[in-house]
Amino acid sequence: MGEDRRLAAVVALAQGMAAAHTPRESWRAAALGACRALAGSFAALSVWERELGRLRVLVNVGDRAEGEEEFPGDEAYPVHQFPEITEFLHERWAAGGEPNAWVETAEGPSAGHPGYCHQRVAALRRRGRGCCVVAPIVMNGRAWGELYVARSTGAPVFDRGDADFATVLASVVAAGLAQSERLEEARRLAFTDALTGLANRRAVDVRLERAIERHRGHGVVVSLVVCDLNGLKRVNDTQGHAVGDRLLERFGSVLSLCGAMLPGALAARLGGDEFCLLAVGPPADEVVKAADELCRRAAELELGEGVACGVASTEDPIGEVRSARRLFRLADAAQYRAKAVRADRPVVAGREGPDDPVVRLADEPFGEGAAERRRFRGRLP
């Protein structure tokens, strides 16, 4: 391959990774770009999970053999079967060298090999591939994983020039992965509460809007648990904000634990002492059961004074729910009632008969004194 074509291939790989919106898209773009650049028939991207001592395959692209999934859930190999990805790299660096790529063939090692690797050779034969080039991916001065590109049996074997080019491609992939991880971290922080690690209000708004669309279109049950942590101000005033923060963190852990009772539920801190659980799919009674457990566990916390908890679910008789705003308003009203009557269990909108006071409170228009009562979030009409 000429220099111009190789430069174009590098640019295409970098652009493909830059256009990715998710980690998966970034992995796939990396593997596809490298496969095309090296005229391979198959490519894979794997990460070295040090804590588990294994290479885990993130993506397989191209002509996949039987059993090879594009995004495998559990394809991983013990690192001790591939010592070159660990010992070889460190030996090379210790000698002042670079983590260059090498070639293996179905007949044994080839250009730039770090040492015979029986597992790779056996895998080539088993999957009908004639050769492969393996390029270590290095990020922040540490081996992150590997880029693997193979050619079918009968195709030209990779040479030293291909191995050198694979080393360049691995560097481009490393830069793209680093950028992807930074973007993913930025996205995570944008939707995460810094103190508790739970989702934040923005994440709830986005998820709830989508959930209500599914409810309107397909009748999916959407439930919202809104709770107010009692006694936070007293803790802050008497023991300091550091202790108050500890209470918020502890309750956040309890909320997460109870949210795990509801598959796929989102646990979030809305701000201050207000938290919520958003459940999409589970029946209303299961949500109420989780909220009841939340109240029980909150009352047992060493700090604070329990929690005021309100629940609103589209499965209960609360009238038509056409907007996320209305479900929030109902859950807020239920939480307000729980706080007003000092309930030690959740108050559920719509379960007190045809003239349910929670539904009436949520739906009545603003009037004199309404702003004081409806301080729910300051952003609801």
Asked if residue 223 lies in contact with residue 315, where contact means CB atoms within 8 angstroms, the answer is yes
Token pair in block for residue 274: 């207000």
* 249 found inside a domain: yes
Q: Would the pTM of this model clear 0.85, i.e. be above it? A: no
* 58 found inside a domain: yes
Q: Residue 82: its pLDDT value, please? A: 67
105 shares its domain with 207: no
Please give the average per-residue pLDDT across 327-339, as a whole number: 94
141 shares its domain with 227: no
| Percentage of the chain modeled with pLDDT above 90 | 54
Residue recorded with tokens 């801190």: 269
- How do residues 299-309 score in pLDDT, each as one tens digit? 988 887 889 99
148 shares its domain with 226: no
Q: Which amino acid is at 213?
A: E
Please give the average per-residue pLDDT across 60-66, as a whole number: 95
Residue 115 has pLDDT above 60, yes or no: no
Q: Residue 39: its pLDDT value, please? A: 95
Q: Widest CA span of the chain, in angstroms?
A: 86
Q: Residue 117: its pLDDT value, please? A: 66
Please give the average per-residue pLDDT across 36-60, as a whole number: 90
* 381 found inside a domain: no
* 177 found inside a domain: yes
From 158, 174, 190, give the residue that closes a domain. Answer: 190
* 61 found inside a domain: yes
Q: Report helix, strand or coil for 220.
A: coil
225 shares its domain with 346: yes
196 shares its domain with 180: no
Residue 368 has pLDDT above 50, yes or no: no
* 283 found inside a domain: yes
159 shares its domain with 279: no
87 shares its domain with 117: yes
Residue 316 has pLDDT above 70, yes or no: yes
d(CA 323, CA 205): 11
Q: State the CATH number of the domain containing residue 14.
A: 3.30.450.40
69 shares its domain with 208: no
18 shares its domain with 140: yes
Q: Residue 351 is part of which domain span?
A: 192-376
Please give the average per-residue pLDDT across 116-126, as a whole number: 80
pLDDT grade for 374, boundaries at 50, 70 and 90:
very low
347 shares its domain with 238: yes
- How do residues 68-98 score in pLDDT, each as one tens digit? 999 998 898 877 666 665 554 444 544 445 5
Asked if residue 298 lies in contact with residue 254, where contact means CB atoms within 8 angstroms, the answer is yes
Q: Please give the tally of structural domains in the chain.
A: 2
185 shares its domain with 207: no
Residue recorded with tokens 């991207």: 45
Q: Chain-wide mean pLDDT for the chain?
A: 85
Backbone angles phi, psi at 341, to 5 degrees: -100, 5
333 shares its domain with 260: yes
pLDDT grade for 366, boundaries at 50, 70 and 90:
low
> What is the rounded (10 degree) CA torsion for 162, 165, 171, 173?
-70
